[in-house]
Each structure stands twice: as C-alpha cells, then as structure tokens.
C-alpha cells in the first residue's frame, strides 16, 4: 500500500523561475488603443518615415505621363501598353499628385508634424520658465569636472563662478548658499521646433499652391498674338478651387526672339549666350500695350501671374495643297529641339486631305549636315542652312477618336506613302522649295522659318509661404546643429584644514580655504564643454592673482648701515 506524500519543490534558480507568476498585462480598450496609435503617429520616427515615403510616392509622377500636364501623352501611353495601363490608371499613376494614396501620405505627414510640435512646444515653454536643476552631490561623476582649492570665501567663490558663467551666457540659479546651477542652449530646442514648424509651413504652402494656383503653357511664334483664356493655352493645369473664367485677360504679342550662340571654334562652340523675347503686353482688353522683355529667370508680372520664358525653337511655315492647288494647311508648325544643335522633331497633320488624311513627320535642321551620311543631323543650333526632312503617311490620323499630342503621329491606321518604284517618299526641302507628292496627292511647300518662344504662365499663392518656411527651416536647422544644450554646476565647501593655502592659485598662507568643485553635463557629444570648465578654473586663478597683487604693498627700500 502506498500513500501520496507531497513533494517539496527543489530550491534552485530554474525551479524558482518557473514558479514566478506571469506578468499581468492590462487590457487595452478602444481609448487606450487610440492613445497608443496617436503616440505612434506623432513620434519623430514616424514623421521621418512619412517624409521618406512621400518622396518615394512622388517618383511615379516623373516616370509616367500625367493627365493634368498632357492628356494626349497619357492616351498614347495607354494605347501602347494595353496590358499594364488599365491597372496603372486604376491605381492613379497617371494622376499621382491628386491620387488618394498620395493625399493620404501628405495628410498623415501633416498630422504627424503637428502632433509632434504641439506637445514638444509645451515642454519647451515649461523648460524656458523653469529654473536650472539643483546641483548633484557628486559632481566628479559628470562628463567634465574639475576641483580646486582657493583662499576665497564660499560667497566670493560663488561670485567668481557666477561672473564666469554669465560671460558664457548661462542662465543661473542658486538653490542654496553652497552651490550654483547654470544652463544654456535653449535655442537648440527652439531651432528644432522651428525646423519642424517650417516643414509644416512648406506643406501648407504646397497645398495652397495646389488648390488655388494654376499653370498654363503656350508656344508662341514670332509675330503671333496670344489672348489669355482657358481655351487658348496649349496645356493648362488649374487648381481644384480655381475658376478658369477668372484668369487674367491679358494679350501678349511676340515681336522678336533674340537668340545668340557662340560661333567661336573651341570648347564652347554652339553654346547659347543670350535668350530674350521682345513682347508687347496688353494687361486688359481696353488698356494700351506696353513693351516688355522676358528672359530666363526674369518673368513678366501681370495681375498676380508670372510669365516665364522656358524654351525656344523653330516653327517652319509649311503650306500643303491638294492636286487642284487648294490650300489645305498653312501654319507655322513648332518643331521641338532634341539636342544641343536643335535637331528638332515635329509633326504636320492635314485632316482635310482627301481621299485619305495626310500626315508628315520628321526633322527640322537649322544647319543641316549636307550628306545625311548618318541620317538627318544639324551641325549648329542657329539657322545657317535650314532644311526640312519629312516622311509622308496617309490614313486615319485619329484612330478611335482618342486625343493625342500635336507632336506625335499615331500610325496604327496609316501607311507610308511610296513613290512609283515602291520606295518611301522622303521629303527634303529648303525655304522656298516645293515637293510634289506622288500619286497626285498634291504638294508641300517650305515657305520660311520663324523662331518660337515656350512661355509658361503661372500663379502660385502658396509660394511666399513656402519661401518663408524654407528660410525658417534652414535657420532652425543651423540652430539645432550648432548650439549645444549644457548644464554646469559649481559647489563650494570649506577645506578640511582651515589654514590650507591655495598653492595652485597663488593663495595667501594662513587664509581660510574653500574647495570649489565644478561639473559640466551636455545632452550630446560636446567638445566645447571642457573649455567652459577650464574657463571657470581660469577665472579663479585670475581673481586670486589680481587680489594678491592688490593686497601686497610696495616694500620700502632697505637701508645700509656703515
């Protein structure tokens, strides 16, 4: 027969550890979860992560064409990439800066910065109003410390330390009669708060510019006139809250575009030297026109908007006629430069041609290389030997009725025009020359060439906010990086031997001695903290030396007895 007897647990580390009760964690209710989430969102780590995420989220806006800038390019991209484009369109990659996910990151970053700034500002204001903390008992444990014995009394020693720290712009307070506490570097946290507040200001400025600003781009040839309205811009990007009917109603005429290139052989050959446009500006429909000059970085201001000169190029004046000589097309057609020698790409579309629509695509060469050995090329950016090199297409210019850029030709439903021998019809024209299209399709004439100016009209009401915020952010960053938060403490006590001398400082024998202990503390690595402690010690030495020199009278001359 056996009996069950209780077995005592063995004493040991492992056994005792197994018998410890599990820690009881508090249950998180909805309010606690919200508080935890808010603390995570308003932490500095989250703000930096959101700032990085925002910069990454902006990358697709520079990779993929955007609808608010060029809807034609977006349509062309979707047509050329039928598999991936629908998914990209659903995810907002063709309208990045107005997409839900980009706006969410933008908004979270703003909330995170505000939630980080407000509590830190309260703490900083309280720190500015608070007194420096009481001096620790063991100053020799601080980062920098020193100790000396002086013949000054405790009150005189504290006065010397006070004067030395005031010269270093420390805020001082004595909690008792035997210690002194000093603190400096409050502007460091002020700079940090200013930097984060300025980042918030930059975000606000960008939001104001996006909502209330607008931008319109035009290409204006010499001698042409432009009347500002929503429908006359080549591309226009109004903000969500912009009334396009309230755009400034100015009229701008481009009289002459001055362009100079370096013609001296050498390293800078062909480099631009001057770009400016001579214009006539009529600010209101009934007002007189004034002569204005616009150049790079020197815009014209009109009714809250700025007119910038962004680019320039050539507009060949081309005339297309049918077989009967009727003019089907006569315009100054802009060709866009592709390299430093202004080898320019362009398209001429003639939808009124029959029985099939005509399209011309190719290059304008300001100074054509005569042989075309390596294809059409320009050897100088100025119009020294202008020439057009075009290929001819016929068919449907606008398949499916989809919008397309005026600078591209969709040849999906077109075929290249050939000559009688089956070779492609390639057009090479100098000013004044005419080419007869094969198959009784008419003719094309290169009349002359003009220059064009690429102008951008912009208004950004948030720009002053962003500019001031950027300056303040720079100032705050400088303050945060250069100023150190320091605390220096001085404690005095009588020496053990009241007749001790301050041998190291030139003390007077038999004077009461005071032991001075100095300690310095900094939040970060601070090489300048040791210099401050040394400056206080030096102040004691200087005071003792001065007092000694003042206290010793001149000795009388010794008499010699005979």
Segment 128-152, tens digit of pLDDT: 899 999 999 899 899 899 999 988 9
Tokens of 281: 């500006």
Chain centroid to CA 288: 40
Is the pLDDT at 200 greater than 50, yes or no?
Answer: yes
Q: Comparing C-alpha atoms, which of 523, 514, 526 is closest to residue 490?
A: 514
Give the end of a domain, one of 95, 124, 153: 124
In the three-class reduction of DSSP (H, G, I as helix; E, B as strand; rest coil), residue 348 is classed as strand
For residue 562, being part of any structural domain is answered with no
For residue 479, being part of any structural domain is answered with no
d(CA 342, CA 312): 10
Which residues are CB-neighbours of 532 under 8 A, at least 6 positions away? 144, 168, 486, 488, 520
Tokens of 368: 């054509």
Same domain, 372 and 424: yes
User: Could you tell me where the DSSP H helices lie in 435-528?
Assistant: 463-482
d(CA 532, CA 42): 36
d(CA 538, CA 530): 12
Cα–Cα distances in Å, from 13 out to 6, 9, 20? 21, 12, 11
pLDDT digits (tens, 9 = 90+) for 319-377: 999 999 999 999 999 998 888 899 999 999 999 998 899 999 999 999 999 888 788 89
For residue 209, being part of any structural domain is answered with no
pLDDT digits (tens, 9 = 90+) for 274-317: 889 999 999 988 889 899 999 888 999 998 899 999 888 999 99
Give the end of a domain, one of 101, 124, 147: 124
- At 452 the pLDDT is 92
Q: What angle do CA 281, 287, 293 make, to 5 degrees?
A: 15
Out of 18-22, 200-204, 297-301, 442-446, least confident range = 18-22
DSSP per-residue string spanning 248-289: ---EEEEEEEEEEE--SSSTTTT-EEEEEEEEEEESSTTSPP
Same domain, 430 and 510: no
Q: Please give the average per-residue pLDDT across 387-397, as a whole number.
A: 94
For residue 198, being part of any structural domain is answered with no
Is the pLDDT at 498 greater than 70, yes or no?
Answer: no
DSSP state of 449: E
pLDDT-based confidence at residue 398 (cuts at 50, 70, 90): confident
Domain range spanning residue 438?
214-263+270-459
- At 559 the pLDDT is 37
d(CA 473, CA 199): 7
DSSP per-residue string spanning 160-223: HHHHHHHHTT-EEE-SSTTEEEEEE-HHHHHHHHHHHHHHHHHHHHHHHHHHH-EEEEEEEETT
Same domain, 298 and 398: yes
Same domain, 78 and 113: yes
For residue 26, being part of any structural domain is answered with no
Same domain, 421 and 321: yes
Phi, psi of 395, rounded to the nearest 5 degrees: 140, -150
For residue 358, being part of any structural domain is answered with yes
pLDDT digits (tens, 9 = 90+) for 400-415: 777 677 778 888 889 9
Angle at which helix 100-129 crosses helix 186-212, to 10 degrees, equals: 150
Which residues are CB-neighbours of 61 under 8 A, at least 6 positions away? 96, 97
Same domain, 288 and 433: yes
- From the number of C-beta atoms within 10 Å of its C-beta (0-12, 13-18, 19+), residue 297 rates as exposed
pLDDT digits (tens, 9 = 90+) for 70-91: 666 787 688 778 888 889 888 8
Q: Comparing C-alpha atoms, which of 201, 169, 199, 193 is closest to residue 182?
A: 169
Is the pLDDT at 202 greater than 50, yes or no?
Answer: yes
State the average pLDDT for the chain. Answer: 85
For residue 360, being part of any structural domain is answered with yes
Task: Scan for tokens 């020197």, then name that residue.
Answer: 298
Cis check for the bond before 355: say yes or no (omega within 30 of 0): yes
Helix (H) or strand (E) holding 347: strand 344-350
- At 503 the pLDDT is 42
Same domain, 248 and 113: no
Q: What is the reported pTM?
A: 0.70
Q: What is the CATH number of the domain that holds 533?
A: 3.30.310.80
- Contact (CB, 8 A) for 318 and 334: no
Give the count of domains, the chain: 3
- At 415 the pLDDT is 93
Same domain, 338 and 425: yes
DSSP state of 132: P
Helix (H) or strand (E) holding 395: strand 387-395
pLDDT-based confidence at residue 66 (cuts at 50, 70, 90): confident
Q: Please give the average per-residue pLDDT across 82-105, as a whole number.
A: 88
For residue 472, being part of any structural domain is answered with no
77: left (phi over 0), alpha (psi -120 to 50) or beta: alpha
Same domain, 309 and 451: yes
- At 549 the pLDDT is 53
Give the end of a domain, one of 103, 124, 145: 124
Q: How far apart are the first and last CA of the chain?
A: 128
Which residues are CB-neighbours of 486 under 8 A, at least 6 positions away? 170, 183, 184, 185, 520, 521, 522, 526, 529, 532
Same domain, 293 and 429: yes
Helices (runs of H) and strands (runs of E) counted in the chain: 11, 22
pLDDT digits (tens, 9 = 90+) for 508-537: 444 568 999 999 999 888 888 999 999 999
d(CA 217, CA 237): 9
Same domain, 304 and 382: yes
- From the number of C-beta atoms within 10 Å of its C-beta (0-12, 13-18, 19+), residue 511 rates as middle
pLDDT-based confidence at residue 18 (cuts at 50, 70, 90): low
What are residue 392's DSSP bridge partners? 360
Same domain, 402 and 428: yes
Tokens of 462: 């948030």
């Amino acid at each position: 027969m056996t009996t069950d007897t209780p077995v005592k647990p063995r004493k040991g580390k492992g056994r005792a550890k197994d018998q410890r009760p599990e820690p009881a964690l508090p249950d998180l209710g909805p309010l606690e979860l919200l508080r935890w989430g808010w603390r995570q969102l308003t932490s500095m780590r989250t703000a930096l992560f959101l700032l990085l995420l925002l910069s990454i989220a902006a990358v697709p806006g520079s990779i993929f064409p955007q609808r608010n800038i060029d809807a034609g390019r977006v349509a062309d991209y979707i047509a050329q990439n039928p598999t991936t484009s629908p998914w990209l369109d659903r995810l907002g990659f063709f309208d990045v800066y107005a997409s839900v996910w980009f706006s969410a990151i933008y908004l979270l970053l703003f909330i995170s910065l505000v939630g980080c700034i407000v509590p830190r500002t309260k703490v900083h204001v309280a720190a500015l109003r608070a007194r420096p903390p009481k001096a620790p008992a063991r100053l020799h444990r601080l980062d920098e410390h020193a100790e000396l014995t002086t013949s000054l009394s405790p009150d005189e020693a504290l006065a010397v330390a006070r004067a030395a720290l005031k010269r270093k712009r420390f805020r001082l307070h004595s909690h008792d009669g035997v210690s002194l506490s000093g603190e400096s570097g409050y502007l460091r946290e002020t700079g940090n708060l200013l930097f984060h507040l300025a980042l918030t200001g930059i975000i606000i400025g960008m939001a104001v510019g996006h909502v209330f600003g607008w931008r319109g781009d035009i290409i204006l040839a010499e001698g042409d006139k432009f009347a500002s309205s929503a429908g006359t811009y080549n591309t226009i990007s109004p903000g969500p809250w912009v009334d396009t009917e309230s755009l400034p109603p100015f009229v701008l005429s481009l009289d002459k575009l001055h362009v100079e290139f370096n013609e001296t052989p050498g390293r800078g050959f062909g480099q631009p030297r001057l770009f400016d446009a001579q214009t006539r500006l009529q600010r209101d429909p009934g007002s007189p026109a004034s002569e204005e000059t616009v150049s790079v970085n020197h815009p014209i201001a009109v009714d809250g908007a700025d007119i910038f000169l962004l680019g320039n190029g050539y507009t060949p004046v081309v005339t297309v006629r049918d077989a009967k000589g009727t003019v089907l097309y006569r315009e100054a057609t802009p060709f866009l430069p592709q390299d430093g020698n202004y080898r320019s790409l362009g398209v001429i579309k003639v939808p009124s041609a029959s029985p099939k629509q005509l399209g011309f695509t190719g290059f304008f060469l300001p100074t054509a290389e005569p042989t075309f050995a390596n294809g059409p090329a320009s050897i100088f950016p100025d119009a020294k030997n202008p020439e057009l090199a075009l290929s001819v297409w016929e068919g449907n210019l606008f398949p499916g009725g989809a919008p397309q850029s005026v600078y591209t030709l969709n040849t999906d439903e077109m075929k290249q025009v050939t000559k009688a021998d089956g070779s492609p019809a390639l057009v090479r024209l100098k000013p004044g020359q005419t080419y007869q299209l094969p198959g009784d399709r008419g003719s094309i004439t290169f009349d002359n060439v003009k220059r064009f100016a690429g102008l951008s009209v912009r208004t950004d009401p948030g720009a002053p906010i962003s500019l001031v915020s950027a300056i303040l952010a720079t100032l705050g960053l400088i303050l945060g990086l250069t100023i150190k938060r320091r605390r220096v403490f001085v404690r005095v006590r009588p020496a053990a031997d009241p007749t001790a001398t301050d041998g190291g400082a030139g003390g007077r024998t038999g004077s009461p001695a005071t032991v001075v202990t100095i300690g310095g503390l900094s939040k970060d690595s601070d090489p300048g903290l040791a210099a401050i402690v040394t400056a206080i010690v030096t102040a004691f030495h200087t005071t003792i030396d001065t007092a000694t020199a003042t206290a010793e009278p001149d000795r009388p001359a010794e008499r010699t007895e005979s």
